[in-house]
Homo-oligomer: A and B are copies of this chain.
Amino acid sequence: MKLQEYRSKEILARHGVPLLSGQTATTPEEARAAAADLGGAVVIKAQVLVGGRGKAGGVKLASSPDEAEQAAREIIGLDIKGTTVKTVLVAPAADIAHEYYLGLILDRSSKAITIIASAEGGVEIEETAKTNPDAILSLPLHPLIGLQEHEVRRVAFVLGLPADLRKDFATVLRGLYAAFIESDADLAEVNPLVVTDDGRLLALDAKIVLDDSALSRHPDLEAMRDLNEEEPSEIAAREAGISFIKLDGSIGCMVNGAGLAMTTMDLVKLAGGEPANFLDIGGGAKQDKVTAAFKIILDDPNVKAILINIFGGITRGDEVARGIVEARAALTRDVPMVVRIVGTNSEEAKPILAEANLITAESLDDAAAKAVAAAGAAA
């Protein structure tokens, strides 16, 4: 789960990372008040989870409350890569002498939390990785003893920080590490980390991405979820315990298992169609989940057909078949459905599906082809 900048900064501040926290605002008037309250020049920043807000006009400087209000007016409501800006952060502006990049990632390859640092901050690290990979220090930490003093020193020396800021840098890196560990993060980055004209070290922007598998032990962080930036259908799916991602095609998919769900999408595409979603209904799919899945899929008006692909293992085919038939009876919108059920009790599933007049298929390739045909006919 990605956290908004102001939330990420909240967490880092708790761990002693020096930053200019500012105030959030959802209206131009609030932004004006915040600027007046902070005094001096401020920067107004769109709080969105997608990247590239700067280029999209989502970040503006303002030297007075008037200008802040005007800037907020321009930013709030702006569409940035499909997300409408609802909130801005109004933070004191800083005079920047130098920008650095400092991040921690959970690197699956080295199976280690890895420090990523660069003296070329302010641009996306992926960009630096392409243009100047030698400018990036990548330092994997020991998984059992974590961040050590010599690693803190080494990063400071490699970045070439002024000697009198090395102690402050240690505070930043230790705080970033503590925040990473204590919030079970996948990523925690400060970009840019700046040295100001008056010689202070400050985190000007921050980004934390949390490990979804660990969220259940962090109710305080779960509460930071920004529902404003999620598809309502995805919120509904999460609440129903279904793994769902909305896409742009016309063929809704309902599958058990993530790998098989991706494969089903791939085969829809291979058969000439476009999947409308990724949907993994999980193991032992019961009727209430099937019902919820139907509703989520059909709430998308683009969906012209549904492909149901269930490989029975834990899940029993006849139970799923009955669930489908019963759930379908309650649907508000009827679209063609292609159902493929294999594995445990798939034979028992066949008469149930046949009686309900559902299109069936033996192989996955066949099921995908039939779903694409059905969607084409319905369009």
Residue ranges of A at the interface with B (Cβ–Cβ < 8 Å)? 144-145
Q: 2 pairs across A/B with beta carbons < 8 Å?
A: A144-B144, A144-B145
A144: chain B residues at CB < 8 Å are: 144-145
- A145 vs B146: C-alpha distance when bound (angstroms): 11
User: Within 8 Å CB of A145, what residues of B?
Assistant: 144
Q: How far is the CB of A145 from chain B (nearest CB, A)?
A: 6
Copies in the complex: 2
Measured between C-beta atoms, what is the minimum distance from A149 to chain B in Å? 15
Q: How far is the CB of A52 from chain B (nearest CB, A)?
A: 41
CB-nearest residue of chain B relative to A145? B144
Query: What is the chain B residue whose CB lies nearest that of A142?
Result: B144
The complex places the Cα of A322 from the Cα of B144 at a distance, in Å, of 52
Q: How far is the CB of A142 from chain B (nearest CB, A)?
A: 9
Q: Nearest Cβ in chain B — how far from A144, in angstroms?
A: 4
Bound complex: CA of A144 vs CA of B142, how far in Å? 11
Measured in the bound complex, the distance between the Cα atoms of B144 and A145 in whole Å is 7
The chain B residue sitting closest to A143, CB to CB, is: B144
Of all chain B residues, which has the CB nearest A144? B144
Measured between C-beta atoms, what is the minimum distance from A193 to chain B in Å?
A: 30
Task: With both chains docked as a complex, state the minimum distance between the C-beta of A147 and any C-beta of chain B, in angstroms.
Answer: 14
A144 to B144, CA, bound (A): 6
CA distance A144 to B143 in the complex (A): 10
Give Cα A144 to B145, complex, Å. 7
Cβ of A319 to closest chain B Cβ, rounded Å: 36
Least Cβ–Cβ distance between A209 and chain B, in angstroms: 26
